[in-house]
Structure formats: structure tokens, C-alpha cells
Structure 1
Amino acid sequence: MKYRTLGADPATRREVSVLALGAMLFGSLTDEKTSFAILDRFVEAGGTFVDTSDNYAFWVDGGQGGQSEELLGRWRRSRGIGDEIVIATKLGARPLAPGTGYTDNPEGLSAKVIRESAERSRERLGVERLDLLYAHIDDHTVPQRETVEGFAALVAEGTVGLLGVSNQAVWRVERARALAAAAGLPGYEVLQYQHSHLRPRFDVPSDLFPDGSLGHAGPELLGYLRAEPALTLVAYSPLLAGAYVRPDKPLPADYDHPGTPARLAVLREVAGETGATVNQVVLAWQLGGEAPIVPLAGASSVAQLEENLAAVHLELTADQRARLDSAH
């Protein structure tokens, strides 16, 4: 395994594995025995970065979520896991009532919600401090200063370490970080957005965000990342839920454009040259680039995890990387 550091403050920064394990469906679609086996193998391979959320997986049973955090809590206790494993979670998008969702009835990002939701996440996970806590979605009904101060208060109390943000417009992220900096408060240091080798269209709604494609790491966000070297991008859905390799998993509608075939073709070419799978080439491309990117890949079996782990040590040549970058 290889590692990188998240955060700048010595008091909160953490060294994590360069590959993060997504636990979104653990405890729901992925049963406990399989989930534990995947987690055990990830740790055995040197993985130290696991990602979840307080609302996973509310859509599976029409509830409010929490299954993933609860499973991770049981796994931690059964294995004697301490703070050597960094578990990131999120708040803000948990439905307030069963049968609703994050688009119509989210918990939001008020100071009250931040405090109470973080406390419930700590209880479910069985930890005294959340290593990394994200604002999962935006909340335009609450002043940003209140949100910034709400997160910072938990850092000051020691119940949260690093702060992150997901699925928000870049200008909103920058405004929140500027408010924090002006007040001498900790701000967002980790950005979590969907990012893969294929490029989505930004003029059509995405599958996850029907009201706009804010979930994607587009050119503006990637430029922001280059301008702010202290930030790290955690790239979720790098393998597009299997759509690169599975005929039964069509590409999302926002990838239906003339540039997609050329980028798929070069992925297959490089996979043939390296003897790797297309999925491994996608992960290696993210891992070895100039931008600080941590791929966040889920797995529903140990075999899928093994494929992802092998990508950590896949070295692409400069020529292969240039071809992958320039295809359009």
C-alpha cells in the first residue's frame, strides 16, 4: 500500500492509504459477513481509509439511513480497531423522515443539525472523534457562517478532526473557506466529488443530482484543486458502478456525448498494453496524476477489492498517461 497525508494542521492531519474503501452499501445490499470480509482484507492489505455517511443507505429500505455506520461500528468493536483506521463520514443529506430523500427533506447544515448528527454518527461508529467529517450537500437555507462555525466548534471540542465538503458549487466552497480563514477557524480541507476518466456533460442533469451536476469534479473544481495545493480530492464513483466493464451497467446519461468513445478506446488500449483491467487503469490514472486525488471505490466482494488493490502498484508510462489525458 501507499499513503498520503490529508490536512495541514499537525493536530488534525492524518496519513491515509492512497485508495479509500467506500462502505455505502455495507449493512444493506452487502450483507454483514461479506462486508466484514472486505474490510478485513482491506486492512490486511494496508488500507486505512474507509468512507461512509449518516444517510447510507436510506434508499434501500425507504428509511433514514445509518446502516453503514452501524455496521462499521460493529466491525470496529469485533476486530478491536482503534484510531489506526481513518473513518470519514458525512452529514446534511440524511432524510428527516422515512420515505423522503435528500432532495426534498434533508436534515441540512444548521449548527444544531451539525452537532446532533455528528453525535449520532459517533455513537453508531463507536468513536470519540470523527476523523473526517464532510458537509454532504449544500444548504442554502442556513447562513454559511453558521455552518462554518458549527463545524469549527466540533473541531475545537476535539470530537471532529478534519473537515471536508462534497457536492457543492466551487464558489460556495471558496466562500466557506474564506469565512473560516477570516475568523481563524478550521475550514474544509478535503473535497469529495464524483470523478473518473470519462468526462461528463455539465449541461444536463446527472443521475445523482437531477437538479444539476454539482456532484461532478469538473474543470473549475480541478483548477481550484491545482490552485490550492493543501486540498485533496477524494474521487467517488471512479469506476462508474461497473459501467466500464459490465454490459448490464450502461453509462449514465450525462456521459452520452461524442467524447466518450475516444476515452474508452484509449483505456482499452492501455489495459491491453499493461495486462491490467480497464478498472485498474482508471484507478492508476487517478493515483499517479499531478493532482492530489484519492480514489474512493466500493466493493461488493473480496474479488472486486483485490482488483482495486492491484491498481495501487500499476505504473503507467509517461506516454500512456499523456494519451489518457489527451483523448477526447
Structure 2
Amino acid sequence: MKKVIIGNTDLEVAPINLGGNVFGWTLNEKESFKILDAFVAEGFNFIDTADMYSYWVDGKGGGQSETILGKWMKERGNRDKIIMATKVGGETGLHPVDTSKKHILEGVDKSLQRLQTDYIDLYYTHFDDEKTPVEETLEAYDEIIRAGKVRYIAASNLSPERLKASFEASEKNNLPRYQALQPHYNLVERTNYEMKYAPLAEKYNLTVFPYWALAAGFLTGKYRSEDDLNKSVRGGGAKKYLNEKGMAVIAALDEIAEKHRTSQATVSLAWLLAQPHIGAPIASATNEKQLQTLFDAPKLQLDTEDMQMLNNASK
């Protein structure tokens, strides 16, 4: 399987990023281990989590996902084979969005403890408080990189203006620079990324890992009416796509999936993989059937007709 090099780093990842938000939420520890074992057995190595996952289970600050991942890596003895990405700065039951130096220095140690490791491969600014100077955030990252706690940094949910300011501060002050971007991007959420962030990914050589790559499950094709929304705990997130554009995208996915004898989810991920700067779409799975749709995506080569159909439907 062809690996992707992240930005200007030595991190090589397979082209699907397994979303860790389900670990400790919709999957318990035993179920999570089963999914993780199957994922790496297929040759994939890139896992995405955050310090705040899955805080909504108990409202007390999160950490369940990191804890499960830490136990799994410890039991399997495979830390050196995994590229682990986690995040800091998100709101939890205990604190608001915070990208201050104090919070980052505290947060990284807590994540390392839960993950049972002494380093994080890719550390994201999860959300931006827009009050902390970007220099302060980057200085915190400089400190933890120098300490060997983090290898590289990345950004998610920063405004284009703050992202650009971060790069300017990195260059001016010789501070670490973001190597990757994690935006909201998929077939039914194109405009914001393509208009505001894609030019920055090009300018700063950012490798892009889109979250909600399957639009809260809508792009799997299982939500076609409001009656379908109770099919899963995440169904409510797909409601906003039950409109003319959303149905046009589903119709295109249906046709292309049938043509290639694959699933709508696989086609959706393959479309993302065909876009400039996309390294590995982030998608979660709660069973082996869902995992297979992720495994199939890098193998699917969409032709010009497929791409045109999807692009037209999703405009």
C-alpha cells in the first residue's frame, strides 16, 4: 500500500485515518480492540483521537478514547508501528476551548499518560480560542517538541486568518510550523474548505486529513428520509443533508457504487482521496463491514466520468 508523507516530516501514513471518537463512546474496550486489530492487520497505521473524546459519555472531561488506545498499544506492543495523532484545546466538561501555553503543557502530559507513551506523533490544535496569541501557542509546542513529547504539530478548526498568522509567526520567530490540516470536508461540505483552506494547504504544503469524511454517515446512503435518522446514535447529524443537493449526491453515489460493485461510503472516500493535498480521510468504524468500506477506498480508482458526476451533484 502506498504511504503518504505528512507535510515536511518523516511521518509516513497509509491513506485512511481511523477516527478514534467511537472508542469509549459507541464501542467499549473489547469492541474497540477488535476494530483496531483488524485495522492494523490490513496494513493501516494512522489513528486519530483527541483528549476530549469521549467526554459526552459522562460529561466529566473525556479521555476515554486515549485511554483505550493506550491500553491497546501497550497490550499489543505496537507503539512503534502506529502513527498516533491526538489534539488539545477542545472544550470538555471541565474546561472551555483553551490554546494557552499553560493548558497545552498540562494537556500533553495528561494525553501521554492516558496513551501510555512518551511521545505523540502529530499533535493538533483542536479548536482555537482566538484570544491566546498564536505565538504563545507555538511557543508551547516548541517546548514540548524540544522535550521529545511531540514530534510534529497540526491544525484543526482554526480560522484562515489565524492559520495564516500562525505560519507567519513560525517563520518570524523560528517556531514549529503546522504540517497538516484537519478540516470539515466531504462531498456535501465543499465550499468552505475549497474556497478558504485549499489555497493555504497549497501555499504551506499542508497534508489534509478531512474529518466527517462521510458527513455523519449520510454519505453511506443509509439516511434517505427523516424516518432513517434513528438508525444510529449519530443519525441526527445527517438531517441537514436531507435536501435536494444531498439527494442528488446520493443518487450519484448509488450509480457509481453499482458500476464499481462497491459501497457508497467507499466511493465517497475515493472521491476525497482524488482531491489535491488530501492525505488520508478520517473515518470511524464500529464493525468489520464498515471497516471494509474504508479498506476498499484506496483501491478504487474513479474515472473522469465518475468524478464529473460527483462534482456536478455536489456543487
TM-score with structure 1 length normalisation? 0.87
Deviation readout 1:75-105 (Å, 9 max, x if unpaired): 01110112210110001114262xxxxxxx4
Q: Does 1:37 align with 2:23?
A: no
Is contact 1:199–1:255 with CA below 8 Å preserved after alignment? no
Deviation readout 1:264-321 (Å, 9 max, x if unpaired): 3222221121111111100111112333341000011122111211112011112212
Q: Does 1:80 align with 2:55?
A: no
Alignment of 1:155-234 (within 5 A): 155-199=145-189, 217-228=193-204, 230-234=205-209
Alignment of 1:1-328 (within 5 A): 1-9=1-9, 13-95=10-92, 97=94, 105-106=95-96, 108-199=98-189, 217-228=193-204, 230-244=205-219, 245-247=221-223, 248-249=228-229, 252=238, 254-255=240-241, 258-327=244-313, 328=315
Deviates more, 1:87-96 or 1:260-269: 260-269
Task: Extract unaligned runs of 5+ from structure 1.
Answer: 98-104, 203-215
Q: Is the partner of 2:145 in helix, strand or coil?
A: helix
Q: Is the partner of 1:83 in helix, strand or coil?
A: helix
Distance 1:139 1:107 in 2: 6
Deviation readout 1:43-74 (Å, 9 max, x if unpaired): 00011100000000111222210000000010
One-letter identity of the residue aligned with 2:216: A
Greater fraction of residues in helix: 2
Is contact 2:216–2:238 with CA below 8 Å preserved after alignment? no
Distance 2:130 2:173 in 1: 21
Distance 1:121 1:145 in 2: 22
One-letter identity of the residue aligned with 1:81: N
TM-score with structure 2 length normalisation? 0.90
Tell me the matched-pair count. 303
Deviates more, 1:88-97 or 1:113-122: 88-97
Deviation readout 1:23-46 (Å, 9 max, x if unpaired): 112123201111001100110001
Aligned to 1:212: none
One-letter identity of the residue aligned with 1:45: E
Distance 2:246 2:97 in 1: 36
Q: Is the partner of 2:305 in helix, strand or coil?
A: helix
CA, structure 1 residues 237+322, in 2 after alignment: closer, same or farther (shift >3 Å)?
same
Is contact 1:54–1:94 with CA below 8 Å preserved after alignment? no
Q: Is the partner of 1:132 in helix, strand or coil?
A: strand
